[in-house]
Amino acid sequence: MNILGVDIGGSGIKGAPIDLKTGKLKTERRRIETPQPATPKAVSKTLAKLVEHFEWTDSIGCGFPAVIQNGVVTTASNIDEKWIGTNAEKLFSKTSGCTVNVVNDADAAGLAEVKFGAGKDNNGVVLLITIGTGLGSALFNNGELVPNTEFGHVLIHDKLAEDYAADSVRKAEDLSWKKWGKRFNKYLQHMEHLLSPNLIILGGGASKKMDRFGKYLHTRANVVPAKLLNEAGAIGAALYAYQQNAKGEEQ
């Protein structure tokens, strides 16, 4: 089964049809610049352009950088505040003419990694942390998603974790990989104290540089880099849509 997977980010809206048997992209990924300001109306129009590009008329899964509850955007940490209270699923479905399911973007990446990537066939508690401008998170127990965890917002040294240990902080404070790695290690150890995960998967841009900071990570759980990288968001969004469609058919 093929579903159009879309990953909405601060700088780009990316998507491609996904083969959910293999977790592979069916075509080359299409990227369109995220409109500025990224209001609900502007983003929905850009999504419609992406749908039109693929001549898509079927189901769509969409990863979105906010807490999503029953299709409604409830936070706006890194997006336009006009999104708060917007039913993104209804808006995107109306604009695109397709059935659209929306999920938190880090949750989408986690779904992809647990199904097709670094967390495949791993039972127990799996924690994914995406390292970038902020710290995104996704939590799974025996393959089941616990949605909207937002563990980048826990407190460390009276700061939000992402204000202490995100990759953007490393760059802004010009920290060495060693100094930043030790900070990030404190964050992971804190998450271990709270969750006792069996496996920790690191995604996002900084995960590609684990050879530079991995030696400073000392955790009980095995820590591994994500495998699907930039494609994880779209793959996971498509998988989420598939799961929601399956639930709807069962009811």
How much is the pLDDT for 206? 86
Q: Per the domain annotation, does 112 fall within a domain?
A: no
> pLDDT digits over 7-26, tens only?
998 889 999 999 999 999 99
Q: Per the domain annotation, does 147 fall within a domain?
A: yes
**Pairing mode of beta strands 222-225, 135-141:** unpaired
9: closest CA among 154, 184, 136, 152?
136
pLDDT band at 250; cut points 50, 70, 90:
low
Q: Per the domain annotation, does 113 fall within a domain?
A: no
Considering the domain architecture, whether residues 95 and 152 belong to the same structural domain is answered as no
Considering the domain architecture, whether residues 174 and 220 belong to the same structural domain is answered as yes
Contacts of 81 (CB under 8 A, 6+ apart): none
Considering the domain architecture, whether residues 124 and 208 belong to the same structural domain is answered as yes
The letter for the amino acid at 200 is I
How much is the pLDDT for 112? 98
Considering the domain architecture, whether residues 29 and 91 belong to the same structural domain is answered as yes
H-only helix segments in 65-127: 88-96, 105-116
Structural domain of 101: 2-105+231-250
Considering the domain architecture, whether residues 122 and 62 belong to the same structural domain is answered as no
- What's the pTM value of the predicted model, to 2 decimals? 0.94
Q: Per the domain annotation, does 110 fall within a domain?
A: no
The letter for the amino acid at 121 is D
Considering the domain architecture, whether residues 50 and 123 belong to the same structural domain is answered as no
How much is the pLDDT for 123? 87
Q: Per the domain annotation, does 163 fall within a domain?
A: yes
Q: What is the number of structural domains in the chain?
A: 2
Q: Does 251 score more than 60 pLDDT?
A: no
Q: Per the domain annotation, does 111 fall within a domain?
A: no
> pLDDT digits over 132-179, tens only?
889 999 999 999 999 999 999 999 999 999 999 999 999 999 999 999
Considering the domain architecture, whether residues 40 and 95 belong to the same structural domain is answered as yes
CATH number of the domain residue 10 falls in: 3.30.420.40
Considering the domain architecture, whether residues 129 and 96 belong to the same structural domain is answered as no
Considering the domain architecture, whether residues 142 and 208 belong to the same structural domain is answered as yes
Considering the domain architecture, whether residues 89 and 8 belong to the same structural domain is answered as yes
> pLDDT digits over 24-78, tens only?
999 999 999 999 999 999 999 999 999 999 999 999 999 999 999 999 999 987 7
